[in-house]
Structure 1
Amino acid sequence: MKNINTIIKISLLVISTLIISCSDVLVNEDPNGVVIDELPPEVILPGALTLPAATLSTTMNGLGNTMIATWSGNAQQVQAPYFVEFQYQLTTDFYSGIWDNLMARTGNLTTIINNNNPGNYDYFKAAAKIYRAFYFQYLVDLYGDIPFTDIHQRGDLLFPTYDNQVEVYINLISQINEAIAQISNTDTNSAITMGTNDVVMGGDMDKWVKFGNSLKLRMLLRMYDYAQTTPDVLTFLNSEVTMLNSADFLGSGEDVTINPGYSDEQGRMNPFAETFGYDPGEFGNSSNQTFSNLRAGPTTFLVEFLNGTTNGVMDPRLNRLYATRSGQSSIQGNTQGGGDQPSRIGPGLLISPQQDGYIMTASESLFLQSEAVEKGLLTSGNAKALFESAIESSFNRLGANIGGYLSSINNINTVGWDGSTNKLEAIITQKWIDLGGTNGIETWIEYTRTGFPSNMPLPDITSRPDRPNRLLYPTSEYSGNSANVNPYGQTVDSAFDTKVFWDVN
């Protein structure tokens, strides 16, 4: 596994670059440089946090938004955008960067976890465990069985074996528990604080604990239906739920964000803003957006869902999520693979070159809590109040005026609480609206888990009768770890007919 086993060595001369540049952290091995294992966690942490986040906000975000009816392509471009995505041409090269980048770019987190430098680095190690679990959960959600026990051993183990996906999930949750205990039980007098080296939480360990609990809740909800028919997993789930009933979660105003010092320069901008927004020096000047950045816009399905056509209620977030192009008097959509020009990504998502990146939003945490209360997993809290608090959080983050929106939707099926015959459908549909553009991969996974939002159209140009359920193991595995990946016998159809363990519906 070439990417997993890349030996990352950096020079002390590039430490300042490591903090703010995603592309400069993985550099060539230099026999005269400093081996990363010899560096203290303070030096490693900023890059370890920053690198995988770039993949989340760009590659994973874009994929998720195109796999369900959130983003369409701008047909006015020279080359038809997202043609492969809308055709569902899934191969071993299709979005292989997700596997390759996450597997490689979480290696620095493992280095921090295994750090033997003198000093009490419990806070660093705990944060690294939680953050690594966040990304490996996505690897399971997208691929199923993955190498985990044998990861990041570099030259000591070149061909890591695959672990059972259920066992990986359980292991990740157990590591989050270890991390929370490590934070809670460390000697605070000797613990080395992370401070500004922590470009996610700024060293706020209470917030790291809340993030860990919120991540656990997400994973347990994913496992919930599977656990009902698997006694040992149900026992584990029930034990974890008991602990979570006395835990704190991310609440209103507690988005988990990252900002290592983004600036208005090539390769140093917020990755989402640079990929889907503007070139350096052109931010906010829509007439100077490049073709590559103009490729994404909303689907007709989404626009009609938000402008009142579908349910009679205008959602003010529409004009924050998207903005008109020249010649448009209102937000326009396009079908996936259609010939129209959709509106562009709007000011609620594209704020500045220096904007924070999102890891987990407060709104997502509140939606998770609402679902858990509704299902009886959490025994305190009010499901409706949490649901409406999540929507308020969404409006606040996007800069939209909520006005009377909550009362307007309350009695409307699929979007309001009282009027929805299936409360889970309302939760997931509102989560789809909220996270579209911010965390598209989460909306695709949640659709796969629940089937919501319902009635989403397939792309115009696909010959497939259904959406894919997962990704295929990448080419890098077949070339670098063939003995362990070949037994799975995947074909193109595996992405459609082989499900991840929690997808039981």
Structure 2
Amino acid sequence: MKKFTYIIGSAMFALLSLNSCQHEIDTFNDNPNSPTELSTPTTLLTGGEIGTIINSTGNLPRTLSLFTQHTNGNQFQSLDYTNYFITETDVETDWTNIYQAGVNLNQIITQFGAQNPYYDGVARVLLAMNVGYATDAWGDVPFSQAFQGNNNLNPKYETQQQVISQIQSYLDIAIADFAKPQSANKYLPSSNDIFYGGDIAKWNKLAYALKARYALRLTQRDGSTVAAQKALNYLQNSFTSKSDNLVATFDGGNNQNLWYGFNNQRAGYMSMGKYFVDILKNNNDPRLAYFVGLDSHNPPGYSGSAPEDADTDASPFGNYFSGNASTPNVIFSYSEIKFIEAEAQFRLGNTTAAQAALKAAVSASLVDVTGADNPTFANTASAAVTLQNIITQKYIALFTTMEPYNDWRRTGFPALTPNQSSQSKKIPLRLITPKSERTLNTNATVVGDLYAPVWWDN
């Protein structure tokens, strides 16, 4: 795993610290997500991975953390989001970033995939991940006709059911690609792979991890036990330890942690959320001081801001995920794998196995966040083998990712109370269609209702 300090120079500093209202990619002349005829799989992969880091650790998960009350918006646009006021222009950047990253990855597949199965597989895994973000947030989205740039400005939308099926198919092809010998490749990923340094075994594990994630996503569609068994089958070939984690690293110079960059430029816009902080405090959670910064009260302590009470003196973001410009962010963790296993075993009625997996999940998170396990706390946190406790523990561990928002919609846990000062008094169930899609894509499936559930949430 390498810190990415490659070819972007000062442009990348702006890319990773930009105003969330502006496009984070196509502002720059030296654009890693603007392929040219001279592009190679080497440069395309680096650009696609940088785009994935933006989509995994930038504005999209930060916005959704307001819905899940991990954080709270106290001022300006963040306060609007906490009040569930989000317009079709607010979501433009996130949509654009996902689909621009996909252009790079799709070009690897279409132009170089036949002679380079490892590059093809890596691109398919990353494309599946990014399209997964899109469909989880927006429901029906373009996939099969997307990522073609000016060659198709009106890609058709596919149903979420079709999109998730295609995600699984892409991952299957990637797994088949990774099974081929090195000699089948003209080029091999190496240091240009800023996630795994060309380690194809780790990419193969990530492909299975994503298959498990999206199998379990369909508990309300495939049926609880069917989805659970599929997930368990995929987990057998996925992450086996923390060393398999997919991690975004930053050099602290030109390339800065996005949570840090936001907080540094917009101090006071957001604080930690009261609901999340209270869970940590009430359970003497060892991760409290890592997830949560000291507040500005006298004396200082750990406090969260409630949606109805914007408290700019409440605790800021903690050092674990935004301590400085070079703080790494975990995108997909071994901890998530064990939480998937715990839920799947629970749904299949295997209580003992579920508890063991839940304890392992909590322990893995403790190691990730604090640097050490705490067996006493892990035992206490995993004592209740219920769906509510499994998802609540996962909600704590996977803060900074989209998964808590997806799990809350899918299971109803944790039992969040909507912002009572908002007009709707309902937590949004999706993002609405961006204005550019509504006005420019004649094939767009336009949804303007934040409270219309996506397909897997029905």
Q: TM-score range by the shorter chain?
A: 0.7 to 0.9
Maintained 8 Å contact 2:115/2:184: no
**Deviation for aligned residue 1:224:** 2.6
Instruction: List gaps (5 residues or longer) in structure 2.
Output: 1-5, 16-23
Do structure 1's residue 499 and structure 2's residue 453 form an aligned pair?
yes
Mapped partners of 2:50, 2:164: distance in 1: 23
Maintained 8 Å contact 2:363/2:374: no
Q: Percent identity?
A: 22
Per the alignment, residue 19 of structure 2 pairs with none
Maintained 8 Å contact 2:52/2:126: no
Per the alignment, residue 164 of structure 1 pairs with 159
Do structure 1's residue 399 and structure 2's residue 395 form an aligned pair?
no
Mapped partners of 1:150, 1:357: distance in 2: 31
Return the letter of the residue paired with 1:61: P
**Deviation for aligned residue 1:193:** 2.3
Mapped partners of 2:431, 2:173: distance in 1: 30
Per the alignment, residue 476 of structure 1 pairs with 436
Mapped partners of 2:436, 2:69: distance in 1: 30
Map 1:120-199 to 2 at 5 A: 120-188=115-183, 190=185, 192-199=187-194
Per the alignment, residue 373 of structure 1 pairs with 345
Per the alignment, residue 9 of structure 1 pairs with none
**Deviation for aligned residue 1:197:** 0.5
Which segment is superposed worse, 379-388 or 322-331?
Answer: 379-388
**Deviation for aligned residue 1:155:** 2.7
Maintained 8 Å contact 1:36/1:44: no
Per the alignment, residue 210 of structure 1 pairs with 205
Mapped partners of 1:393, 1:315: distance in 2: 14
Alpha-carbon RMSD across the aligned residues, in angstroms, is 3.0
Maintained 8 Å contact 1:20/1:262: no
CA change 1:157–1:364 in 2 (3 A) is same
Mapped partners of 1:477, 1:464: distance in 2: 25
**Deviation for aligned residue 1:419:** 2.8
Per the alignment, residue 346 of structure 1 pairs with 318
Aligned positions, number: 440
**Which of 83, 86, 108 matches 1:90?**
86
**Deviation for aligned residue 1:322:** 0.8
Mapped partners of 1:177, 1:384: distance in 2: 30
SS at match of 2:221: helix
Map 1:82-481 to 2 at 5 A: 82-116=78-112, 120-188=115-183, 190=185, 192-228=187-223, 244=234, 246-259=236-249, 262-265=251-254, 268-276=255-263, 278=264, 292-308=266-282, 313-326=283-296, 327-340=298-311, 341-376=313-348, 382-399=353-370, 402-403=373-374, 405-406=376-377, 409=380, 416-420=381-385, 423-436=386-399, 438-439=400-401, 441-454=402-415, 456-481=416-441
SS at match of 1:38: coil
Mapped partners of 2:316, 2:29: distance in 1: 42
**Deviation for aligned residue 1:247:** 2.3
CA change 1:35–1:398 in 2 (3 A) is closer
Return the letter of the residue paired with 1:46: T
Structure-1-length-normalised TM-score: 0.79
**Deviation for aligned residue 1:362:** 1.9
Mapped partners of 1:153, 1:322: distance in 2: 42
Mapped partners of 1:245, 1:368: distance in 2: 8
CA change 1:296–1:45 in 2 (3 A) is same
Per the alignment, residue 20 of structure 2 pairs with none
- Cα shift readout 1:144-190 (whole Å, capped 9, x = no counterpart): 11111111222322211111210110111011010011011244475
**Deviation for aligned residue 1:94:** 3.1
Instruction: List gaps (5 residues or longer) in structure 1.
Output: 1-13, 279-289, 410-415
SS at match of 1:200: coil
